[in-house]
Structure 1
Amino acid sequence: MVRVYAPASIGNIGVGFDTLGMAITPINGSLFGDCVSIENANIFSLSNTGHFYNQLPKRLEENIVFQCWKKFCEILGQTYSLSINLEKNIPVSSGLGSSACSIVAVLVAMNYHCGFPLDNNQLLTLMGEMEGKIAGSVHFDNVSPCFLGGMRLILQNCDTVNQIIPSFNNWLWIVAYPGVKMSTEVSRSVLPNKYSSEDCINHSQYLSGFIHACHTKQENLAIKCMKDIIAEPYRSRLFPVELSYIRHNIIKKGAMSCGISGSGPTIFVLCNTHDVVEDISDWLSHFYLQNDSGFVRICSLDQCGVRIMVE
């Protein structure tokens, strides 16, 4: 049997709409992602466990893990009779790369189990394709960091799909999931079809400035460039609490930045010192969480990405 863990991720990171993504891991050492276990069987079976298994589709054919198994078998031209268990620990439609976690975990597990017939580039391409079944089009900003770790720049129209971006060792990322769903389809539907030339220019400057600042270790510049003018102005009304209200309060408490994780409704808060994270986390727990399904996690950058846990 093989068991594979795939970490949660933050897509966009505010300034990098459909262009930046990063894998995250709790600073307390706990796992924060989906796990997939695979072993040989006489017939195919898929079981779902984990904290959020009840959010998965009831029909087998609609489960992305089943779809990944089917596609993998088609590529290799052979049907593998496997017993697969998905531990669904990241909520669906949360903005934490939930589908990417499941996709990356099952494809890496199957590739390992079958003797590595696909290389990393082939796997990543397949992961982006399967993510497109959820997002509506091929996407790499969650699957890439979930698979390979770190902060990733997505270059989908270039020869190299992604490049790793250096980060700052002192940065801590608080993620707060309110406990309610927000589908990618709805989040994308509120975005305009066209943007003004001024917005395009400003977005280009912020994104290029952020990447340059990360490479040249200019922390203050990187933080100043973390402005989302593409999605946040339009998605803000979908959130259970006004983002401007959250930002105003957490900045007063010492946060450096705040934004939407992926399509939401999870938000991320960037801090560069440990002494403020507990206070900010407590405030978010009190003012942003909507029910018992919500949670707050204090994380750092996950450099490892997917890993095989047990053989």
Structure 2
Amino acid sequence: MAHKIAIVGVGKIARDQHIPTLAANDDFELVATASRNAGVDGVDRFEDLGALLKARPDVTCVSLCTPPHARYDDARLALESGKHLMIEKPPGATLSEVHDLEALAIDRGLVFYSTWHSRHAASVSAAKAWLAERTIRSLEVRWKEDVRFWHPGQEWIWEAGGLGVFDPGINALSVLTEIYPRGLFLRQAELQFPENRDTPIAADLTFRDPGGAQVSAQFDWLKDGPPEWDMHIETDGGYALLSEGGARLTIDGVEVDARRGPELQGEYPALYARFAELLARGEREVDLSPMRHVADAFTLGRRKVVAPFHW
């Protein structure tokens, strides 16, 4: 029997990814939404999660697609109401609030899944397997895009807690922490803040690898033209380029065939397939390693004020 699921926050990511994915997934039935400004045809719509849960007690799962700094109250309400929970990336505004939610889920015996969709890009698992057998000498992340194209008019990303350029940058960090064969920690950072905004528009990060590799990341939200979502990796066994957000892997100039495995179905279908597995097993999956690097960047980062940003 399909799990009756509700979506909270019918914004761009829900319309582009979650709703069509659920429509094609037999493990779930989307029965309700909670959102101030939008709904889904043929699905019960409510202004907030409290009203939804009162009217639809048959809902067993909640998928939160709201911005991270406005998510905690709904996440806690869902868990307190006995609902299994899946959360968009990043899982919260702070590490502490996510730890609190995880503890509540454990106490109530509920599934709690903090998702990282970029880890399910088509070539990420292949890159991870290739690196596991080699010594990394250097890895450079270049994650650059045009904020006006990818986040048009989304003011929340510029508010404190909205993460700014780390909203896409955390996707890169989720891939990095998935494929890297050992732990890394941040050594230094420079964050560029528009003088009229509360979150950064660019960031340069330098990591320390106890194994001695040189690891860095460059995030930029003012790139003209096509995005650059790439990782350049030098090893003792060749050079790899993981590009297009993890979709393509090229090793020494030869593209690796990634047409196999569960990633073929797409990132969000893979997320919901994983959620269904966790529900079947009654397990939780909460990995905060990408978010820890972001928190460290705000702790260590040297702040540089740059020109104001206007849409």
Instruction: Quickly name the TM-score band, shorter chain normalised.
Output: under 0.3
Of structures 1 and 2, the one with the larger relative CO (CA 8 A, separation 6+) is: 1
- TM-score by structure 1 length? 0.27
